[in-house]
Amino acid sequence: MDSKSLNRLELNKVLSACAEYACLEDTKALFGAFVPSTDLAEVREQLERTGECLKLLFRYGLGSIEYFPDVTELLTRASKHSVLSCAELREVNSLLRSARLAYTSINGVADEEIIKIKADSARIYYDKNLEDDITDKIISDDDVSDHASDALYSIRSKIKSLNERIRAKLSEYVSGDTARYLQDGIVTMRGDRYVIPVKAEYRSRVKGLVHDRSQSGATFFIEPEYVLELNNELVALQIDEKEEVERILKALSVRVGAMAEQLAVDMDVLAEIESYYARAQYSYANKCVLPQVNKRGYINIIKGRHPLIDPEKVVPVSLELGGSYNFLLISGANTGGKTVTLKMCGLFCLMAACGIFVPAAEGTAVCAFDDIFCDVGDSQSIEESLSTFSSHITTVIDMCRRATSGSLVLIDELGGGTNPDEGQALAKAVVEHLLKVGCKGIVTTHFTALKEFAYTVDGIENASMEFDASTLKPLYSIKIGLPGASNALAICRRLGMDEDILNSAVSYLSEGGRTFENIVRRAEESRVEAQKKLDETNALQVQLKDKLAEVNRRIDELNKQREKLTANARAESRRIINERTAAAEELLDEMEELFKKEELSQTDLIKARTLKNKLKNAAYGEEESERSITDYKPATADNLKAGDSIYFSKLQSVGQVLSVNPSKGEAEIQCGNIKTRCKISELQKTGSAPAATKTKEIRVKKSGAFSPSKPLLEINLLGVTVPEALYEVDNFIDRAVMDNLEEIKVIHGVGTGKLREAIARHLKGHKNVKSFRLGKYGEGETGVTIITLK
């Protein structure tokens, strides 16, 4: 790839943005030295790895590679049998931990589509035992754990005990009669040995070894004679401790050295995997999509957004190249987006060649070109004494020499910076040469002759950056098939240039150029207006389709609700009929038993009347009877008088008061043909007099058997064994089918889940079960099973 062109297209900025998502220095270095691939298979593999990392990160919630420092030099030393320090072993351990986490997290995802990253992770080596040993034995950058070995634990225990003995001895000296010899009542150390501060004038009074003297000479630091041997023993133990620590560090270093080569490979593999994680994070953050990649030079960018422009300001652009034409000639007003579009096209191809998704819509296609040449902007060189035109044409000459059929050529303002006649003639010749070579390319221009040239030559197509003629502002969108007017004079007019100057400028335009520009401008204005109308029409069509879909959806919902209500009403009516018929049969049975007697007593007659009233309630509905009863109020001696309407609960019948005896709390009443005395407290007073009771013969014919009770909607199996539960479930389903129920509930509880699983297995093959599910939130969740019957 041409390095200057890569810089002009600003690929390095995209790679730097990707590197921001990496934590390893090796990964950042990879992005800094990255070269886009030209091999189609390699490009596709890189994009597949990026796609797999997107899944791992944002579907399965994996973390990226855990940080570890560069330990290359430490591994080299360890392989040469050098002993690593505590801090250095901890750095190596961070690599071991990172390698283990990367391997286990990637391979812990059960997704058959994660192939290439798993293959990369298979090269990772880690040693959990060594990682645990370093973690357990080294507790800080400069200290080893007491439990790193039995010997070290024993030595440190002895050191601790000996220190306590020495301090105890010296404390006796400090607090005893000899305390007056001391400068301070403290115990200190000199050269890892315990000493006490003795006043200079009493130095001869304290027997021992002098280790130091204060700068003033007033204090001598003396190791008393009676702790000398203890201090010697302490020093010996400290030497043993140091040797044991060195032995432990050496043993760990040897183990690191033995796997130094594998760990060096780990560093490279982890950096490579993290580079794909970083590319995936960049692609996700910028709403990028996986592009289709080819080698035939075809580019189809759908709503592409230049990744280096503020997402709030960038305008999506669509363009196609390499299909029916190989070159695109983009014209139009300045600041209309020609250069941005040209650079975006080249940058998208380079991003894909680096395994990075592109910020565009689904279906975008790019090509893995053998080389990409780009000439954009002012490349004037003071050091090389090159003018703008000279530097520009030097780049163009290099392109013409090196371009092949597998190249992409991007030239901004071809032929600019010199005499317009010569410039446009040169531009025609260069484009003609590149067309013969067979490469693909985009050229931007303001030359009218070059726009006309695109109409007469095969393989090149005009395109224009849209421009709003009413506001004289660019729209930053491309239209293929029509050239664009430069609108230079119109823009000058909007910016306030004197009208006389503008009129003079128009007079200097050639007749042909003026005519062509006018035609192009009018065509562009007409096309923009037509596009606005088309967009409005399409928007209305979308709205109508959405509204129609919403109407159809609501109709479907209403039909479903109607069917459900009808089915429920049908089932409820059957249930009510069954209940009341069963109740009527029970009453008839009682009446038959009653009339089998040869003689009927007054009690039997009262009971017969009660049964008759119950039968009426069963025929006309309990709701009406119960509602009328709720209108009654308790009768008392004060509010009850002859002629009042009452309800007598024992006969379950309404009647009329004949007389009242307040002193006894009794009343004589008549209910139908029955007269009786009762307590006032047994009566309820009604609001109106009862209608005259008509004697009517009731005949009920028995037919059919009915469910003697209200249909059950749920069954509770808590505490029941599995065989018993399955038997109860079958009976429950049979009753529900007879009661014409559509949905029933089985309560089995959560527990160990055995009962739930047994019921589920049993329901799968049941002939009367249409479907079943566990309860939702508010229904009992996994503690219940909801069954839908056929």
Most confident segment among 125-134, 377-386, 604-613: 125-134
The Cβ-side half-sphere exposure at 774, using a 13 Å CA radius, reads 12
Res 385: pLDDT: 38
Mean pLDDT value across the chain: 82
> Is a pLDDT exceeding 90 seen at residue 253?
yes
Find all residues with CB under 8 Å of 184, minimum gap 6, and list them: 197
Q: pLDDT, tens digit, for every residue of 257-278?
A: 999 999 999 999 999 999 999 9
The encoded tokens of residue 342 equal: 């040209």
Res 358: pLDDT: 95
pTM of the full structure: 0.60
Contact status, residue 44 vs residue 293, Cβ threshold 8 Å: yes
What are the backbone angles phi and psi of residue 375, rounded to the nearest 5°? -130, 105
DSSP class of 315: -
DSSP class of 289: B
Average pLDDT over residues 120-134: 94
Q: Give first-to-last CA distance, the chain, whole Å.
A: 70
DSSP 726-774: HHHHHHHHHHHHHTT-SEEEEE--STTSHHHHHHHHHHHT-TTEEEEEE
> Is a pLDDT exceeding 60 seen at residue 698?
no
Average pLDDT over residues 684-698: 52
Res 720: pLDDT: 81
Find all residues with CB under 8 Å of 544, minimum gap 6, and list them: none
Res 651: pLDDT: 67
The encoded tokens of residue 574 equal: 């059957």
Strand arrangement, sheet containing 666-671:
633-634, 683-685, 645-648, 653-661, 666-671, 674-679
- At 194, the pLDDT band (50, 70, 90 cuts) reads confident
Distance CA 688, CA 775 (A): 51
- At 488, the pLDDT band (50, 70, 90 cuts) reads low
Distance CA 12, CA 454 (A): 34
Res 167: pLDDT: 80
Q: List, in sequence order, the alpha helices (H) in 108-227.
A: 116-121, 128-137, 150-175
Most confident segment among 84-88, 541-545, 597-601, 767-771: 84-88
Q: For residues 687 and 112, which has the higher predicted lDDT (pLDDT)?
A: 112
Average pLDDT over residues 227-236: 82
- At 605, the pLDDT band (50, 70, 90 cuts) reads low
Average pLDDT over residues 17-22: 94
Res 350: pLDDT: 95
Res 215: pLDDT: 76
Res 301: pLDDT: 93
Find all residues with CB under 8 Å of 789, minimum gap 6, and list them: 733, 736, 737, 741, 742, 743, 744, 768, 769, 770
> Is a pLDDT exceeding 80 seen at residue 41?
yes
Q: pLDDT, tens digit, for every residue of 716-743?
A: 888 788 888 888 888 888 888 887 888 8
What are the backbone angles phi and psi of residue 232, rounded to the nearest 5°? -60, -40
Q: pLDDT, tens digit, for every residue of 386-440?
A: 456 677 788 888 889 999 999 999 988 887 766 677 878 888 888 889 999 999 9
Contact status, residue 159 vs residue 237, Cβ threshold 8 Å: yes
Three-state secondary structure call for residue 336: coil
- At 515, the pLDDT band (50, 70, 90 cuts) reads low
Q: pLDDT, tens digit, for every residue of 282-340?
A: 999 999 999 999 999 999 999 999 999 888 888 888 999 988 899 998 887 666 678 88
Average pLDDT over residues 745-774: 87
Residue type, 324: S
Contact status, residue 683 vs residue 667, Cβ threshold 8 Å: yes
- At 240, the pLDDT band (50, 70, 90 cuts) reads very high
Residue length of the chain: 790
Contact status, residue 472 vs residue 494, Cβ threshold 8 Å: yes
Residues 238-265 as b or e (16 or more Cβ within 10 Å = b): eebbeebbeebbeebbebbbebbeebbe
- Residue 284's nearest CA partner among 358, 365, 362 is 358
Percentage, residues of the chain above pLDDT 70: 81
DSSP class of 381: B
Res 137: pLDDT: 94
Average pLDDT over residues 621-625: 45
- At 26, the pLDDT band (50, 70, 90 cuts) reads very high
> Is a pLDDT exceeding 50 seen at residue 381?
no
